[in-house]
Amino acid sequence: MPTVDALAERLSSYLEPDQIKQVCRAYYYAEQAHDGQYRRSGDPYIIHPLAVANILSEMHMDPQSLMAAMLHDVIEDTAVPKEALEQQFGEVVTELVDGVSKLTHIKFGSQEEKQAGNFQKMAMAMARDIRVILVKLADRLHNMRTLSAMPPEKKRRIANETLEIYAPIANRLGISNIRIELEDLCFAAKHPMRSNMIQKAVKAARGNRSELVERISEALKTRLKEEGLKARVIGREKHLFSIYRKMKEQKKSFNQIMDVYGFRIIVDNVDSCYRALGFVHNFYKPVPGRFKDYIAIPKSNGYQSIHTSVIGVGGIHIEIQIRTEEMEAMAHNGIAAHWLYKDEEEEGHSKGSKRARKWVQGLLELQQSAGNPQEFIENVKLDLFPDDTYIFTPKGRIVEMPKDSTAVDFAYNVHSDVGNTCVGCRIDGQLAPLSTRLYSGQSVQIITAPGASPNPSWLNFVVTSKARANIRHYLKNQKHDESITLGRRLLGGALSMYHLDLNSIELDHLEHLVKEFGAIDFDLILEEIGLGARSAQAIARRIAVFALGDEDGLSKVSSEGVFSISGKEGGVVAYAKCCTPIPGDDVVGYSSAGRGMVVHTTGCNNIQEFLDQPDKCMPLIWDDNIKEDFSVTLRVYTANSRGTIANLAAAVTEADGNLEQISVDDKDAQLSVLTLQIGVHGRKHLADIMRSIKKNKAVSKITRLKNMA
């Protein structure tokens, strides 16, 4: 069991005596505050904060972080108020403690929302001081180490949460020691039998491999020594979760995964890294395409190293990482290595720190544009799994992007305004679609246009959280404006039945309406009408009561006020896929809560039961000046002959139709049945296209499909 004296002895290797006294004082304060409290395992509660401080001491963290570790549950789990803690230990330590607190007193609607909300608040605390997340990670690591006392269901839930959020955060901040242990502990909690089997297999394989590992290690040491290079050579062990994940993802056997031998070569400086690489490639045959230089271009979490794969004696595959001592510390402790290498004059000292803060700043931007905690956490999860793609701007600046990023992702990475107004791109000087996947080394130029706006279809291919959040934010605002416009038109149409004009309604009447419905303002009521959440007829009736003075006056209503649609209403007017209405069809509008208005043909089976409900359905007419295309589906029966599809496509084009999709539904020796999806301007245009298709002698029958869903 850890003791504070043992911790003090460990801290003496890198802290001053006064600083150690402060950490010990925080321990005794926490011990007194948690007096009488016990963990589920039966141990005194103080064991937990002491263990968290021990984990941080292994990373050589500063005294304030260690004090926060000792006190991190005091505000939440004891009667000590935040103010008392601040008087004793100062504002910085108290803010760290407050940031790490689990915030269980805040009530959320569901468990998922609670977790998302906690993480959102943790991100905010991280923005104030990055050490918050380091203490939180150490706290989670000790909780995972002592998970055995929990019931199985809770074990799995905590393990899932850790794998989804905390292990990726540790990876994002470059803290591989904590990430590896968290992953292995989660693996054991979720799949205890699989974990035990792989652990036993690794132990058995280690015995067989040890002699070969020693031989390769000695050969590398001897070679480097002969070349006058001072270096340490360490054999790399694969951890259990990594083996399991590779077996699962790559569909390889355990023996295939273990056939690869890994080594680290650690040298004094960057120059020696490249010299060591030359000696290794001269000594063993390198594998083409397996060389990566993360020193020249570090990973997004600050990780730096040279990676190469070579073939050893007897065809053995050897993976080698070459790095300096400082890079080794950064690889294990990530952002925490910032406190190990504190030379403020050194330009490269805080690369990891800057990267971490840049990432946290990105979290803040996401938090501002996300609609709710779940959306925020979904975006963060996307951002927690970065890979290695490096893109060049036209001026030669290197931009780090996640794997499979597209030109739209790159545009939003440059700036939100660039993303919102991009219309095209040049990749290595050639025009390319915005959905094009990007690869390392490409040069990308974004083409923008004033007045351009994001396309909802971009959400189908973007991979970065920044792009996704910005597109959603823009579309949300756009839908808000479109909903108000549609709501105003719908209400205006409903009011005309009472011979009233919305623009002439007195302000007092509108304010009375806003108060009656408990809305913030009149625009909110209009937005809700546009989204189908309120009935335009019901609102119009209430306004008419105010304007006309009594209910009796409402009996004199006209049948005017039919709403016209133009196809330009935006996302708040949708055209039903079941009956695919086009201009010229008799149509009705169905108010769908949250979606706005859905347009159906009057003969559609799906709308029949609502036709006599004026709050749900309203008659519609088509605008006289429609130029948009509307999709319609045709079923064509043709004799089975060569070139039929090409002839049909030519017939559609000849009639100025837009052939969107064509498929063969059924086919035998004599007959083919084809489905054509065509963009048309209206019924007359559709009739022209059908006549053009019928000119083909192979066509025996053609019908328009309706009520398909």
- Residue numbers annotated as active site: 76-77
Query: Which tokens is 423 given?
Result: 């219309």
Which helix (H) or strand (E) segment holds residue 471: the answer is helix 465-496
Tell me, what DSSP letter sits at residue 341?
Answer: S
Could you tell me how many residues make up the chain?
709
How far apart CA 704 and CA 709 sit, in angstroms, is 14
The counts of H helices and E strands in the chain are 26, 20
Angle among Cα 2, 339, 22 to the nearest 5 degrees reads: 50
> Coil, strand or helix: which one is 265?
strand
How far apart CA 353 and CA 336 sit, in angstroms, is 8
Residue pair 128/365 in contact (Cβ under 8 Å)? The answer is no
In sign, the C-alpha dihedral spanning 198, 200, 203, 208 is negative
Phi/psi of residue 312, nearest 5 degrees: -90, -170
Query: Which tokens is 10 given?
Result: 């460990």
How far apart CA 228 and CA 246 sit, in angstroms, is 38
Tell me, what DSSP letter sits at residue 436?
Answer: P
CA-wise closest residue to 147 among 3, 73, 38, 40: 40
3-state helix, strand, coil in the chain (%, to 5): 55, 15, 30
How far apart CA 679 and CA 633 sit, in angstroms, is 9
| Residues facing residue 633 across a β-bridge | 677
Instruction: Kindly report the number of other CB atoms within 10 A of residue 158's CB atom.
Output: 20
How far apart CA 577 and CA 598 sit, in angstroms, is 10
Q: Which distant-in-sequence residues (6+ apart) come within 8 Å of 236 by Cβ?
A: 262, 263, 264, 319, 321
Find the radius of gyration of the CA atoms of the chain. 33
> Coil, strand or helix: which one is 544?
helix
Residue pair 218/271 in contact (Cβ under 8 Å)? The answer is no
How far apart CA 678 and CA 632 sit, in angstroms, is 5
- For the chain, the farthest-separated pair of C-alpha atoms sits apart, in whole angstroms, at 106
Q: Which distant-in-sequence residues (6+ apart) come within 8 Å of 649 by Cβ?
A: 659, 662
Burial letters for 53-65: b for 16+ Cβ neighbours within 10 Å, e otherwise? bbbbbebbbbbbb
On the CB side of 44, CA atoms within 13 Å amount to: 13
Query: Which tokens is 397 given?
Result: 């600046």
